[in-house]
A and B are shown apart, each in its own frame.
Chain A
Amino acid sequence: QMQLVESGGGVVQPGRSLRLSCAASGFSFNTFGMHWVRQAPGQGLEWVAVTSSNGVAKFYADSVKGRFIISRDNSENTLYLQMDSLRGEDTAVYYCAKERGDFTGFDSWGQGTLVTVSS
């Protein structure tokens, strides 16, 4: 049974940093691309970032480019999102999601972790 468990969310002041983690189990973590997707309160889904299975290729949404870094540790089956220079508009539930295959949608999601950026 595939499982993804996010952690690291919380309340943080604008301009500060936070690192999210996503622990994966139940599948061969090192063979799938992994994504972060966020959802602001009462709003829709927004794709944030992707890392390839080997962690070499990384792509970001324009809204986070230059501020967020996605990374992974395949030896620990863990995905990360380093978020710097946080803004109020980054307030959201952050989900990690597993790619079904190259480009083919996200077939497993975590329960999400809430990040609140507020002074």
Chain B
Amino acid sequence: QSALTQPASVSGSPGQSITISCTGTSSDVGGYNYVSWYQQHPGKAPKLVIYDVTNRPSGVSNRFSGSKSGTTASLTISGLQGEDEADYYCSSYKSGGTYVFGTGTKVAVL
């Protein structure tokens, strides 16, 4: 099961917007609207920030938004803040009942 492809790192200045891509195949990202995104700070458990491609769980800042086109999903963080500095992972349901995570992206706030 190959991991979804994400850029290794993305950076931005406070207040800017950044976008993280997540590329899969027609068997996962392209085949289902079941892409989710997770934020992970060092030494902590992951936290769900987007589910079902575009939906935000209660309590997650509206600065986080998600989208999808074909086999690529994207997470956009607007109004970048220092607390957004973390690792971000996408995940997708995959045909056959399994799931797959992305390779992970380290976000740096300059």
Give chain A's interface residues, CB within 8 Å of chain B. Answer: 35, 37, 44-47, 50, 57, 59-63, 95, 100, 103-107, 109-112
Q: Among A45, A61, A62, which residue has its beta carbon within 8 angstroms of that of B38?
A: A45
Residue in B closest to A63 when the chains form the complex, CB atoms: B1
Contacts of B24 in A (CB 8 A): none
The B interface is mostly helix, strand or loop, or mixed, namely: strand
B100 touches A (CB below 8 Å): yes
Are A44 and B48 in touch, CB under 8 angstroms?
no
Are A103 and B34 in touch, CB under 8 angstroms?
yes
Contacts of A37 in B (CB 8 A): 46, 101
If the complex has contacts A109-B45, A112-B45, are A104 and B52 also in contact, measured as CB distance less than 8 A? yes
If the complex has contacts A45-B104, A47-B98, are A105 and B45 also in contact, measured as CB distance less than 8 A? no
Expressed in whole angstroms, the Cα–Cα distance for A1 and B46 within the complex equals: 17
If the complex has contacts A100-B48, A107-B51, are A46 and B93 also in contact, measured as CB distance less than 8 A? no
B102 touches A (CB below 8 Å): yes
Are B51 and A104 in touch, CB under 8 angstroms?
yes
Within 8 A of A (CB), among B52-96: 52, 57, 87, 89, 91, 93, 96
Q: Separation in Å of the A41 CB from the closest CB of chain B? A: 12
Are A61 and B46 in touch, CB under 8 angstroms?
no
Q: Among A57, A61, A110, which residue has its beta carbon within 8 angstroms of that of B45?
A: A110
Are A45 and B89 in touch, CB under 8 angstroms?
yes
